[in-house]
Amino acid sequence: DTAVSQTPKYLVTQMGNDKSIKCEQNLGHDTMYWYKQDSKKFLKIMFSYNNKELIINETVPNRFSPKSPDKAHLNLHINSLELGDSAVYFCASSHGTGRTGELFFGEGSRLTVL
Amino acid sequence: SQQGEEDPQALSIQEGENATMNCSYKTSINNLQWYRQNSGRGLVHLILIRSNEREKHSGRLRVTLDTSKKSSSLLITASRAADTASYFCAPELSNFGNEKLTFGTGTRLTIIP
């Protein structure tokens, strides 16, 4: 059983379009995240959610809008896509208690903006 | 801002040799974690060392932590071809915990058969 699953795995789209990436975790975790990994492999946190509430927004442009309908899901919607949005986006989850401990990552969603 | 910085950026060794990767960070931490990323895959947690620990072992992995120097090292002994991957350190900042776990660009390790 996949613990953290993201769809789609690959996404190719034109500049200016709007797209969404979905994430689901079946680990019963309280906290979920979105990370962006650029072409140099730098992995940067974008958002953290705890029990459906946004707790970290790491100066991400407001074209990016995360939505957490419940604890097990965290989706990422991106408006007006730009070339610089091309990257691999990773969803992750962790236990929320104590704000410490390991993260469980999905397999990533590779977004290519043409 | 980038907190964990891995060094070297790339490392190639012969199978069976030991591989050492280093990590430096900037502020006080609760703990420090190491992750592995195989090509085209997500990150997988390897080991966590708490700020009051100096050394920790897990199988062929040995992690050290020196909070006075704000540095950590990951040693993989008796390397195997399957260890080829990128390795990331992630300092868990005291102010934020794992809500804002920060990573660097990783060390790309290649094991030559």
pLDDT digits (tens, 9 = 90+) for A76-111: 999 999 999 999 999 999 986 556 689 999 999 999
Give the residue with greater pLDDT, B103 vs A99: B103
Closest-CA distance, B107 to chain A, in angstroms, reads: 10
The pLDDT of residue B74 is above 90: yes
Give the residue with greater pLDDT, B106 vs B99: B106
Contacts with B, A 58-77, CB within 8 Å: 58
Band of pLDDT at residue A20, cut at 50, 70 and 90: very high
pLDDT of residue B86: 97
User: Which of A53, A58, A88, A100 best probes binding to B when mutated, by most B CB atoms within 10 angstroms?
Assistant: A100
The pLDDT of residue A1 is above 70: no
- What does pLDDT average to over chain A? 92
**Pairing status of strand B61-66 against strand A109-113:** unpaired
Give dist(CA B26, CA B24) in Å, integer.
7
Which range has the worst mean pLDDT, A27-36, B1-10, B69-78, B83-92? B1-10
Q: Please state, as a whole number, how many other Cβ atoms lie within 10 Å of the Cβ of residue A92.
A: 26
- Residue written as tokens 């591989």? B19
pLDDT digits (tens, 9 = 90+) for B16-57: 999 999 999 998 888 999 999 999 999 999 999 999 999 999
Q: Which residues does chain A have within 8 Å of residue B6's beta carbon, measured at their own beta carbons?
A: none
Give burial (CB, 10 Å; 0-12/13-18/19+) of A57.
Answer: middle
B33's tokens: 């974690």
**Do residue A43 and residue B103 have CB atoms under 8 angstroms apart?**
yes
Phi/psi for B99 (5° steps) reads: -65, -25
Mean pLDDT (whole number) for A60-72: 92
pLDDT of residue B94: 78
What domains are there in chain B, each with its CATH number?
5-112 (2.60.40.10)
CATH class of A4-113: mainly beta
**Do residue A4 and residue B41 have CB atoms under 8 angstroms apart?**
no
**Do residue B100 and residue A45 have CB atoms under 8 angstroms apart?**
yes
Q: What percent of chain B has pLDDT over 90?
A: 79
Please, which residues have CB within 8 angstroms of residue B33's CB and are 6 or more apart in sequence?
Answer: A102, A103, B45, B46, B47, B48, B49, B89, B90, B92, B101
**Do residue A103 and residue B30 have CB atoms under 8 angstroms apart?**
no
Which residue, B97, B108, B112, B104, is CA-closest to B10? B108
The pLDDT of residue B98 is above 80: no
Mean pLDDT (whole number) for A16-39: 95
